[in-house]
A and B are shown apart, each in its own frame.
Chain A
């Protein structure tokens, strides 16, 4: 989706342009190449997907023993 459209294009293709925007997304409307205004689609911004806490560390490819050695070394140093 283009982030900037001319006034002519915006008025002619209002439906396709605005319905392609997600809630909270915006498009700049330009007149003679200069920013004239900004159209923002109504509605709450989509929430970021909830992080699956602990999933990424479980997916690490190194051995858990190596991880424990690092933890021990850091705790001992501190």
Chain B
């Protein structure tokens, strides 16, 4: 696993958004299949299922469509599940949290770059500024290079 795609980036691949085209342009250049951890998959799936059964009809429809696309990519092995060193990842997220001199970001924004670092990823694909700062500090190359 060399490239880590965070939650927002993964969602951009299955939900049509302004960033979807550029996200796919980056992903097309990566070796296939794309390894993801169970946590990434769970977060995408939980988020989509939550909104499929949520109160807003528009979001229900978008989430249902994205769910179908996500299942398609899993079936076609575009994404494959790989194990991750969870204890190291969480320990790293905890240490970042403790060393943060200001209000820390949401736990998810700490955890994604920590998992990527624990997996020895070289690239971090994210549109999330807080996570990108941590990933860059951990020595990973950011994609896209600029937001």
Residues in A lying within 8 Å of B, measured CB to CB: 48, 51, 53-54, 56-58, 60, 62, 64-71, 73-75, 77-78
Let me know if B90 is at the binding interface, CB within 8 A: no
Contact A74 B11, beta carbon cutoff 8 Å? yes
Q: Which residues of B contact A73 (CB under 8 A)?
A: 47, 51, 59
Shortest distance in angstroms between B74's beta carbon and chain A's nearest beta carbon?
A: 12
Contact B43 A70, beta carbon cutoff 8 Å? no
Shortest distance in angstroms between B25's beta carbon and chain A's nearest beta carbon?
A: 8
Contact B20 A70, beta carbon cutoff 8 Å? no
Per-position 1/0 for B5-26, Cβ under 8 A of A: 0011001111111111101110
Contact B78 A57, beta carbon cutoff 8 Å? no
Contact A67 B62, beta carbon cutoff 8 Å? yes
29 A-B pairs whose Cβ atoms sit less than 8 Å apart in the complex: A48-B76, A51-B78, A53-B24, A53-B27, A53-B78, A54-B20, A54-B24, A60-B16, A62-B58, A62-B61, A62-B65, A64-B18, A64-B20, A66-B58, A66-B59, A67-B16, A67-B17, A67-B62, A70-B15, A70-B66, A71-B8, A71-B15, A71-B17, A74-B7, A74-B11, A74-B43, A75-B128, A77-B50, A78-B46
Contact B51 A68, beta carbon cutoff 8 Å? no
**Interface size bucket, B side?**
35 or more
Contact B76 A54, beta carbon cutoff 8 Å? no
Q: Which residues of A contact B8 (CB under 8 A)?
A: 71, 75
Q: Which residues of A contact B15 (CB under 8 A)?
A: 57, 67-68, 70-71
Q: Which residues of A contact B12 (CB under 8 A)?
A: 71
Let me know if B88 is at the binding interface, CB within 8 A: no
Contact A78 B106, beta carbon cutoff 8 Å? yes
Contact B13 A54, beta carbon cutoff 8 Å? yes
Q: Which residues of A contact B16 (CB under 8 A)?
A: 57-58, 60, 62, 64, 67
Given contacts A60-B16, A67-B20, 6 further A-B contacts (CB under 8 A): A53-B24, A62-B62, A67-B15, A67-B66, A68-B17, A71-B17
